[in-house]
Structure 1
Amino acid sequence: MKIVLSHPTGNANVRAVLTALVKANALAEFNTTLATNPDAGWLKLLPGSVRSELLRRTFPAPQEQIQTHPLREIARMAFPKLGLNQLVRHEQGWASIDAVYQDFDRLTAQRLTKLAASQSVNAVYAYEDGALETFRQAKKLGLTCVYDLPIAYWETGRKLMLEEAERMPAWAPTLGGGIQDSEAKLERKTRELELADIVVGPGLFVMDSIPAWAADKQTIMAPFGSPVLPAAASQPKTNESTNRRPLRVLFAGSMGQRKGLGDLFEAVKLLNNPDLELVVMGSLLSPIEFYRSQYAGFTYEAGRPHDQVLALMRSCDVFCLPSIVEGRALVMQEAMSQGLPLIITPNTGGADLIQEGKTGFLVPIRSPKAIAEKLSWFLDNRDQIPEMGKLAQAHAATYTWDGYGTTVVDSINDFYTKLVRKPQIAANA
């Protein structure tokens, strides 16, 4: 089996699949926009900030198996720094993220005919918003189409967010781009799923969002891996001083109602307990004054380097993410790795992370009352937090990126093997 893998920018889950493909000798080619050879001498000539940014685009595959399509991605990165924000405007700009994805998809599709002939390619593996032209060309060549859906299918996500805009109108501006996507963009998403033979997703929430008309498609559910941390960062929490200070509850992520921040604010206001401190770390989606108007008492922490994020997590006691729409928020496993039990909704994609009362608690979406009840439980049972933190840490460690990549690649191989055997079985019948 040989697979062409494509993703415009790359992330942890892409790298895990890429690693597994290389390990299985199943990679035909990896297509992306930018890829940096970490051993290149010219990197040393660049300013530190530029060098660091480029080194984020390194990939675990031989250089000869990586194909880049860099033009629009370089423009997307550069234009805002030059004050050319109109050129990266959502869906409108020549170098918007949407334009980058579509241009990348088209260029990847153009390579398939050559790759199918030269490397006997069997399948293409592409991600939401960057798969349509690749899949169309793959179908012409008789290739299997693997579609990675990292977040809930658009119909589910849009429905939930429109409901949120009505339920909590003050928070509507924080709901993000999905609610503003054009009909053309949504149509692309639908066509991508129609062409897919296999759908890969990180958890039950995503898999359950697949519409009924696509229910006959092969699916692979593979939970993301937990971060691999330095030994010092993965020591169990002791919380020896937790009873001598307020309970520190951490929220981390983009500060919007898609992640349920408005519900968490309401829950803390319901409790109105001076022994609880809400710590919010993330990117502002509205002016800070808006958040203060919703709940003035939270502690705001800006984004920071990863090691400092981990240190902040270790200074807290509980992690709460009452999301309305996610794929699978990696920050949950990151918090668990630092010894924090969770309060999360099923829509975070992390229901399997919860061993009720041991690694944390699952609460319904849109329920400040349920969140408040669990926060109150932690306030009343602070002596149990260290042990719950250890259990959370141990459970998070069972999810590895190696296991994620292997599950995905082995499942694709099993599907393809059965597909190849079917005509032979029919011929012998």
Structure 2
Amino acid sequence: MMDIIVAHPGKQHSYRLASALKKDGSLQYYVTTFYAKNSSKLISFIKKFLNEDDSKRLKTRNDKDLDDSEVVTFCKFGGLLEIFVNRFDKKRNFYRWLHRRVSDYFGMKTAKLAIYSHSDAIIAYDTNALKCFDYLIKQKSDIVKILDVSIVPRPVMKKIYDLEITQSGCEKLKEKNRNLWDRHLMNRFQKEIDFADYFLAPSEFVSKSLQECGADKKKIRIVPYGANVESNIIRRPIEAGALLQFLFVGNDFYRKGLPYLIKAMECFKDKAFLTITGSYDNKDPLVAKNMNKSYLRFTGLVTKERMQRIYEDADVFILPSFAEGMAQVGIEAMACGLPIICTTNSGLSDMITNGVNGFVIEAGNVENLKEKMQWFLDHKKEIVKMGEKARNVAKRYTWSRYEKKVAGAVHEIMSEKGK
């Protein structure tokens, strides 16, 4: 029997991984910072001051498959402070500084726990694993170090941005991601990859990006994510004279290519409507300039229930992103019966057959984007059929499938290491 620690100071999809290993008997501990334990007096106290939406978000910081005894928390107040600062630090300078401090302390404590508990492996997450892996190496530990990489590695992300800034002059990409031009931070990101023994990647795009950073292809296991939202809605044919409903979902507008989508929409403002869902800053020039345009609607951050309704009201989903891992919003859109337009950098191209359930374009190519948007306007009768094909593909990308595949990948890794 293996003893494996899953460690994440935040959340992401780490609960899914912990649940998968719990079900096959190999989870030793799930380690995090802030966690809504059922027995926690702190959680009971915090609940008194939360509104309905925040109370719902708090409940998501708990994995129903895990017993409280299987969850270890380090730096819980630091983790709670990170959640608070992330909501209010628009420039993210203080947040990034705090995140590094919390992550490093958390990583050190996790490594010490693993050594003390005679763990067989630690699965940690990109941008959070450096100090943990570094400590294990310095202690000459034989604990297997597995890095779960949820997004394209930062060194490759910087190359993508550098190229786009050179070609288009879009300095906002740099302004919003200045940490990528910090040599010290980039060195940390690269070391994290260098220190890992194995990698979990959600898409072929992330796998190739890791190899570009020096990772051995044989050490990478591709395990796609699942959808958090799905729908069985029966879609009706779109009337010939109706406005086509395009949908964009994401918080990092510049990384996800929203400026290019808004530019493309200018050509279709009398024929289509674009809903933009995700948190935003009213002072952001992109938002301020476009907020009151009749063919655009900014919804802000929404609940899971409202998100499903937004998917159901849309006709076509668009994600012109520069850098993703495997954009879950794209899987969700497909699971709700939407054909999609995505980029080669979205991590979704593995799921798309051009002209069948959507289209794949190059990131930053506005003309290519407009061409595909026009195609949907010219072929409205094809949209429902393409959406059903997208839904059929998305049915293969479930969290239950993820759990089986990731557990199998981890067992394969441990067998290869002789554990």
Q: What does residue 70 of structure 2 align with?
A: 65
User: Residues of 1 paired with 2:175 and 2:14: CA distance?
Assistant: 26
Change in 2 beyond 3 A, CA 1:86/1:104: farther
Change in 2 beyond 3 A, CA 1:366/1:58: same
- Following superposition of structure 1 onto structure 2, how do residues 329-368 of structure 1 map, counting pairs within 5 Å? 329-368=327-366
Matched, 1:109 2:89: no
Please tell me the root mean square deviation across aligned C-alpha atoms, in Å: 2.8
Q: What does residue 272 of structure 2 align with?
A: 276
Matched, 1:266 2:263: yes
Whether contact under 8 Å (2:152, 2:324) holds in the other structure is yes
SS in structure 2 of the partner of residue 35 of structure 1:
coil
Q: CA deviation at 1:244?
A: 3.9
- Following superposition of structure 1 onto structure 2, how do residues 378-397 of structure 1 map, counting pairs within 5 Å? 378-397=376-395
Q: CA deviation at 1:88?
A: 7.3
SS in structure 2 of the partner of residue 348 of structure 1:
coil
- Following superposition of structure 1 onto structure 2, how do residues 141-290 of structure 1 map, counting pairs within 5 Å? 141-169=141-169, 172=172, 176-177=176-177, 179-180=179-180, 182-210=182-210, 211=212, 213-215=214-216, 218-227=219-228, 229=230, 233-238=231-236, 240-254=237-251, 256-269=253-266, 271-272=267-268, 274-284=270-280, 287=283, 289-290=285-286
Whether contact under 8 Å (2:277, 2:302) holds in the other structure is no
Whether contact under 8 Å (2:29, 2:72) holds in the other structure is yes
User: Residues of 2 paired with 1:114 and 1:170: CA distance?
Assistant: 49
Q: CA deviation at 1:351?
A: 0.7
Unmatched 5+ stretches in structure 2: none
Q: What does residue 136 of structure 2 align with?
A: 138
Change in 2 beyond 3 A, CA 1:213/1:304: closer
SS in structure 1 of the partner of residue 409 of structure 2:
helix
The amino acid of 1:364's aligned partner reads E
The amino acid of 1:64's aligned partner reads S
Q: What does residue 314 of structure 1 align with?
A: 312
Whether contact under 8 Å (1:79, 1:88) holds in the other structure is no
Q: CA deviation at 1:359?
A: 1.2
Change in 2 beyond 3 A, CA 1:332/1:91: closer
Q: CA deviation at 1:40?
A: 6.2
TM-score (norm 2): 0.88
Change in 2 beyond 3 A, CA 1:305/1:294: closer
Q: What does residue 374 of structure 1 align with?
A: 372
Q: What does residue 17 of structure 1 align with?
A: 17
Matched, 1:75 2:81: yes
The amino acid of 1:105's aligned partner reads G
Q: CA deviation at 1:53?
A: 3.8
User: Residues of 2 paired with 1:148 and 1:278: CA distance?
Assistant: 34
Change in 2 beyond 3 A, CA 1:234/1:43: farther
Whether contact under 8 Å (2:358, 2:386) holds in the other structure is yes
Structure showing greater radius of gyration is 1
Unmatched 5+ stretches in structure 1: 422-429
User: Residues of 1 paired with 2:131 and 2:304: CA distance?
Assistant: 36
The amino acid of 1:226's aligned partner reads A
The amino acid of 1:7's aligned partner reads H
Change in 2 beyond 3 A, CA 1:247/1:221: same
Q: How many residue pairs align between the two structures?
A: 407
Q: CA deviation at 1:80?
A: 7.9
User: Residues of 2 paired with 1:137 and 1:80: CA distance?
Assistant: 28
SS in structure 2 of the partner of residue 145 of structure 1:
strand
- Following superposition of structure 1 onto structure 2, how do residues 116-131 of structure 1 map, counting pairs within 5 Å? 116=118, 121-131=119-129
The amino acid of 1:20's aligned partner reads A
- Misfit runs of 4+, over 6 Å: 39-42, 83-88
Whether contact under 8 Å (1:282, 1:303) holds in the other structure is yes
Whether contact under 8 Å (2:161, 2:173) holds in the other structure is no
SS in structure 2 of the partner of residue 259 of structure 1:
coil
Change in 2 beyond 3 A, CA 1:18/1:358: same
The amino acid of 1:55's aligned partner reads K
Whether contact under 8 Å (2:238, 2:380) holds in the other structure is no
Change in 2 beyond 3 A, CA 1:54/1:342: same
Q: CA deviation at 1:166?
A: 3.8
User: Residues of 2 paired with 1:132 and 1:222: CA distance?
Assistant: 22
Whether contact under 8 Å (1:202, 1:327) holds in the other structure is yes
User: Residues of 1 paired with 2:173 and 2:33: CA distance?
Assistant: 31
User: Residues of 2 paired with 1:349 and 1:88: CA distance?
Assistant: 28
Change in 2 beyond 3 A, CA 1:172/1:122: same
Change in 2 beyond 3 A, CA 1:255/1:417: closer
Change in 2 beyond 3 A, CA 1:216/1:384: closer
Q: CA deviation at 1:26?
A: 0.4
SS in structure 1 of the partner of residue 255 of structure 2:
helix
User: Residues of 1 paired with 2:113 and 2:317: CA distance?
Assistant: 45
User: Residues of 2 paired with 1:255 and 1:278: CA distance?
Assistant: 17
The amino acid of 1:254's aligned partner reads N
User: Residues of 2 paired with 1:84 and 1:377: CA distance?
Assistant: 40
Deviations 1:168-209 (A, max 9, x none): 445516863365453222222111111111111110111111
